[in-house]
Amino acid sequence: MEKRTGTVLWILAAAANAVALALVFLYAPVEVQMGAVQKIFYYHVPSAIVCYVLLFLAFLFSVLYLWREEPLYDHLAYAAAEVGWVFITAVLVTGPVWGRSAWGKWWVWEPRLTSFLVLWLTYSAYFLLRLFSRGEGRTAKIAAVLAIVAFFDVPIVHKAISWWGSIVHPKKVVLEPPMRLTFLVSLVAVFLLGAALAFTRTRLGLLEAQKAEREGWA
């Protein structure tokens, strides 16, 4: 059943992303001021939204793990944080590419970009902790605390423009109907990709834990 669920998720993610990419390049009009580079928007913004959701799940499962000490919650938190970090990285890579072409700068130390970089660094520290403390009993609890603390940067990232303004991020983006449809399809496609990755990573984590337990008994 689990394997079939993963297969279905990957098929849906592949199909949705194929449709989304077709809409991005063949249907959505070219933005007048920024040109073709604006099409990065259709994956840049959904990647940010999906990473917020995944980091919230990592936060939630970390709280549940500290409360219940159920190993499954630790695996779910780890998988959500890991896939969330992948999408954080995608945002940090696509953002400068878009910014360089649209505004002539790879990077600007403005509130949203800076707080997003802090988010990436914090979750990178989370993975370094898991990597170099493998096998220690307290690692999962310390990592859970770190995931909980790190999540508080997410609302800061989200509200950075409203609180401090931005010289590169607009407060509001107005999309024409074809652009709006393309964005919504891309959002669904990226959500499905995130779900497929998180499901697969959770399953691998559980299999690794079972293998380690069997070797321990041996």
> What's the pLDDT band for 217 if we cut at 50, 70, 90?
very low
Give the mean pLDDT of the chain.
88
Q: How many CB atoms lie within 10 A of CB 15?
A: 12
Domains of the chain, each with CATH number or no CATH: 2-217 (1.20.120)
Contact residues for 181 (Cβ-Cβ < 8 A; gap 6+) = 23, 27
Higher pLDDT, 36 or 12: 12
Contact residues for 115 (Cβ-Cβ < 8 A; gap 6+) = 153, 156, 157, 160
Alpha helices in 69-152 (DSSP H): 71-103, 111-132, 139-151
Residue 175 burial by Cβ neighbours in a 10 Å radius (0-12, 13-18, 19+): middle
Percent of the chain with pLDDT over 90: 60
In angstroms, rounded to a whole number, what is the distance separating the alpha carbons of residues 84 and 82? 5
Lowest-pLDDT range of 28-37, 76-85, 112-121, 175-184: 28-37
Task: Tally the residues of the chain.
Answer: 218
Residue 156 in contact with residue 177, Cβ under 8 Å? Answer: no
pLDDT in tens, 164-198: 666 656 556 678 899 999 999 999 999 999 999 99
How far the first Cα of the chain sits from its last, in Å, is 28
Percent of the chain with pLDDT over 70: 89
pLDDT in tens, 51-108: 999 999 999 999 999 999 899 999 999 999 999 999 999 999 998 888 777 677 777 7
The pTM of this model reads 0.90
Residue 71 burial by Cβ neighbours in a 10 Å radius (0-12, 13-18, 19+): middle
